[in-house]
Amino acid sequence: MGVTWGPGFHAAPGQPVDSSAYDQYIGRWSRLFVPALLTAAKISEGDRVLDVATGTGVAAQMALRQVGNTGLVVGVDISPAMLQMACSRLSSRQFLPVVSDAQTLVFPNASFDAVLCQLGLMFLSDPARGLAEFRRVLRTNRHAAVCVISSPDRAPMWGILAEALGRHLPDQRRELQRSFSLADVAQLEALLVAAGFREVRVTRETRESTVESFDEYWAPIETGPGQMPQAYRALPESGRRAVRKEVQACMSQFELNGRLTMSVEMLIGVGRA
Ligand SMILES: C[S@@+](CC[C@H](N)C(=O)[O-])C[C@H]1O[C@@H](n2cnc3c(N)ncnc32)[C@H](O)[C@@H]1O
């Protein structure tokens, strides 16, 4: 059985993005790492910042606060539906949405003071090409910072689901592991160096959060955007029931009094142009 992915894998083709479901499924975890990403990118007031794969604007929202009234945040995404949601969520005149593939950015050389890419790089078909573009549009001596998800066992809120879906959709297994494809520190360092960045550093960061119940964890998978939820919904009902059961059994290791407390590891990579 196949899934027809929309551009960028996250928004289902022809459907609007439910931003609160996105937030429950990814945004709430992504947000925990954005302060570290912004610190790595050394963003200051008045900066012109590019947020690549901005999605619903999780990183752009925090960047807007840092650049203040004199700065600008340009949010790029390949998915018009994701960008539309970013615009309605952020509603700031200093947020400029641009539909573009991260691997062929539509901006002149050296046009930004910082480039961010929060949970986007691993979805590019050619991450090296994307990083070379980040380097090209960045002013000399300024920083690009990327954040990618670690391995499935260190990101259980997605890792357990990806494993279960892969058992039921073996022909989609590789695509379903895409979220974890840049989980290696040395690999990410080498990619940044090859793109021409100097003073490259990759660190592992861990954060923890609690979801009130398994049902709350599961709700956005039934209805919301995201690569794995779309794959799940393409299964026949018996397959969906089986996946839910397998994931719930595995998630019980994180359960205390009905609540799920999970930690998640991500890699933050930074380089100077
Ligand atoms: C997991 S979301 C991350 C969104 C946001 N940065 C966050 O942290 O919540 C990944 C985003 O990458 C975008 N994306 C995937 N491939 C892309 C590409 N080639 N160029 C630009 N954006 C892309 C998707 O449309 C999606 O919005």
Residue 205's SS3 state is strand
Which residue puts its alpha carbon closest to atom 10 of ligand 1? 120
**Using a 6 Å cutoff on CB, does residue 77 contact ligand 1?**
yes
Residue 176's SS3 state is helix
**Using a 6 Å cutoff on CB, does residue 59 contact ligand 1?**
yes
* Residue 246 banded pLDDT, cuts 50, 70, 90: very high
**Cα separation, 27 vs 236, whole angstroms:** 28
Substitution candidate for ligand 1 out of 89, 105, 119 with most atoms within 8 A of CB: 119
Which residue puts its alpha carbon closest to atom 27 of ligand 1? 55
To the nearest whole number, what is the mean pLDDT of the chain?
96
**Using a 6 Å cutoff on CB, does residue 101 contact ligand 1?**
yes
Which residue puts its alpha carbon closest to atom 7 of ligand 1? 58
| Residue 199 Cα to ligand 1 middle (Å) | 26
Give 10: exposed, middle or buried? Use CB within 10 Å, 0-12, 13-18, 19+. buried
**Using a 6 Å cutoff on CB, does residue 19 contact ligand 1?**
no
Among the atoms of ligand 1, which is closest to the Cα of residue 82? Answer: 27
> Pairing mode, if any, of strands 48-52 and 72-77?
parallel
pLDDT at position 37 over 90 = yes
**Cα separation, 198 vs 196, whole angstroms:** 7
Question: For the chain, how are helix, strand and coil distributed in percent, rounded to 5?
Answer: 50, 25, 30
Structure tokens at 13: 């083709």
- Confidence at residue 264, expressed as pLDDT on a 0 to 100 scale: 98
Average confidence (pLDDT) over 140-165 = 98
Query: What are the tens digits of pLDDT across the range 88-124?
Result: 999 899 999 999 999 999 999 999 999 999 999 999 9
Helix axes 58-67, 34-41, angle to 10 degrees: 50
| Residue 238 Cα to ligand 1 middle (Å) | 31
CB atoms within 10 A of CB 113: 22
Among the atoms of ligand 1, which is closest to the Cα of residue 117? Answer: 6
- For domain 19-272, the CATH class is alpha beta
Element (H or E) spanning 135, and its range? helix 127-137
Query: What are the tens digits of pLDDT across the range 251-268?
Result: 999 999 999 999 999 999
Do 12 and 230 contact (CB within 8 A), yes or no?
yes
pLDDT at position 1 over 70 = no
Do 78 and 102 contact (CB within 8 A), yes or no?
yes
* Residue 5 banded pLDDT, cuts 50, 70, 90: confident
| Residue 97 Cα to ligand 1 middle (Å) | 13
User: What is the total residue count of the chain?
Assistant: 273
> Pairing mode, if any, of strands 112-118 and 48-52?
parallel
- CA nearest neighbour of 198 among 92, 135, 271, 125: 271
| Residue 9 Cα to ligand 1 middle (Å) | 8
**Using a 6 Å cutoff on CB, does residue 86 contact ligand 1?**
no
**Cα separation, 51 vs 64, whole angstroms:** 10
- Confidence at residue 29, expressed as pLDDT on a 0 to 100 scale: 98
Query: What are the tens digits of pLDDT across the range 64-88?
Result: 999 999 999 999 999 999 999 999 9
Helix locations, the chain, DSSP H? 19-22, 28-30, 34-41, 58-67, 80-90, 127-137, 156-168, 173-176, 185-194, 214-223, 227-233, 237-251
